[in-house]
Amino acid sequence: MSHRYDEAMKSFYSLENSTKKYEWGHEAHIPLFLQNAPQEGTPVAELWMGAHVSSPSFIQGEEGRIGLDEAIASDLEHWLGTKAASRFGRLPFLYKLLAAGKSLSIQAHPDKAMAEEGFARENAAGVPLDARERNYKDDNHKPEILMALTPFSAMIGFREESVIRRTMRDLCSWGNLPLPPFAEAQDDFLRNFLQGLLTAPSAQIQALIDAAVAYVKETECSWDDLQKQWVVRLNHQFPGDAGVLSPLFLNVLSIAPGQALYQPARMLHAYLDGFGVELMANSDNVLRGGLTPKNVDVQELTRVLDFRSSKPEVLLPQEVAPGFSRFSLPIDEFSLSLLDGAHTVCLEAGEGPRMILVLEGQLTLSDGQENLVLCQGESAVLPSQASVTVHGKGKAAMAGLGQ
């Protein structure tokens, strides 16, 4: 086959990536990481590296600049490898930097079957892709991992039912409020609790928020420090939003740089504050449950969610070889690895596409004929057929296929 952009001869391409200036972003994290000056009053929320049709990265080929989605589509087997080309038919992951200056929405992502059904349903109904009420932007699921680059706070998964019941009873008793019916449900408690909370009258929600904030500020309540901190902060960020109460029923935790959190599909979660590397299946499907001015489709959210209590696990990478470590993930679409250029790391051909993002210092990619020097904030993509060594005075995070 003729390779329009001479992929057969090249082992790596520098990536030109786009940023997203969402309102919840942070003014400084991403600009400084990219070694640019922050612009006051301009939050930068994400940087996308990948081939998602809505915002692909670009590479420079012999005939000019081309979207990575178009380059990959021109020769799936070369870029993805035979197995991944047959199974996925597209780059299966989306790689990001994420910088939260304020909380992201409480959200969950559908599993694969739900995404396919929901995307087809909304297409058949003629809902425009950019419509406010649109839930499904594509037909894919979106499990994801986030590795912290600064201290990072998040809420992930429901607390134990008994803990939620006790917390609500204590709060209402202290605030002299009637216990809401959704906090008394006997059957399918978590589903009924969330659905009731998100559809409760605004006056009832406001009374509960006021009581929760006062309870934190005026008493030595038994809630943990992160619960106390985030009830107050979320009330400041999203006054009157039912999601202000989410630290009472979701697990709140903070992780250190180098630690990571994995969110499977259908898991309710929210990223609260911090800067990190995020890697997910190639999707932009989000179902929201509060802490947002955007559409909250309670019916669809509760249809998708996994209503089981859970405890989030903090992940650390495991060494594969000197200078090469990887997070263990139960997913085929992606893997997240760390490279330390103090040791020459060999990336063999045939292991699928890889994206390398330099986190600090400087690294050199070499295939024996050409070299590509990457500095902090710069990134490159390697086709599956590339055999490359990585070395230098720097460190990188690498996205690849799951093992």
> pLDDT category, 395, cuts 50, 70, 90?
very high
Q: For residues 181 and 193, what is the distance between their CA atoms, to the nearest angstrom?
A: 8
Q: Distances in Å between the alpha carbon of 46 and those of 196, 230, 329, 334?
A: 33, 23, 23, 19
Q: How far is C-alpha 41 from the chain's CA centre?
A: 24
Q: Does the structure show a pLDDT above 70 at 7?
A: no
Beta bridge pairs of residue 365: 372, 390
The helix or strand, by DSSP H or E, that contains position 164, with its residue range, turns out to be helix 161-175
Express each pLDDT in 294-331 by its tens digit.
999 999 999 999 999 999 999 999 999 999 999 999 99
Q: For residues 94 and 53, what is the distance between their CA atoms, to the nearest angstrom?
A: 11
- Kindly report the average pLDDT of the chain as a whole number: 94
Q: For residues 168 and 174, what is the distance between their CA atoms, to the nearest angstrom?
A: 10
Residue percentage of the chain with pLDDT more than 90: 90
Express each pLDDT in 50-78 by its tens digit.
998 889 999 987 778 999 999 999 999 99
Residue percentage of the chain with pLDDT more than 70: 98
pLDDT of residue 53: 86
Quote helix, strand, coil % in the chain, to nearest 5.
30, 30, 40
Q: For residues 170 and 165, what is the distance between their CA atoms, to the nearest angstrom?
A: 9
pLDDT of residue 17: 97
Express each pLDDT in 322-364 by its tens digit.
999 999 999 999 999 999 999 999 999 999 999 999 999 999 9
For range 177-204, the mean pLDDT: 96
By annotation, the residues acting in catalysis are: 288
> pLDDT category, 9, cuts 50, 70, 90?
low
> Which structural domains are found in the chain, ordered by start?
7-155+255-293+311-315 (2.60.120.10), 160-246 (no CATH), 325-400 (2.60.120.10)
* CB-CB neighbours of 368 under 10 Å: 9
Q: Name the residue with tokens 């992201």.
A: 104
Tokens of 97: 């930097």
Between residues 140 and 170, the one the model is more confident about: 170
pLDDT of residue 63: 74
pLDDT of residue 188: 95
The three-point CA angle 396-100-146 to 5° equals: 45
pLDDT of residue 3: 44
**DSSP symbol at 247:** G
pLDDT of residue 1: 37
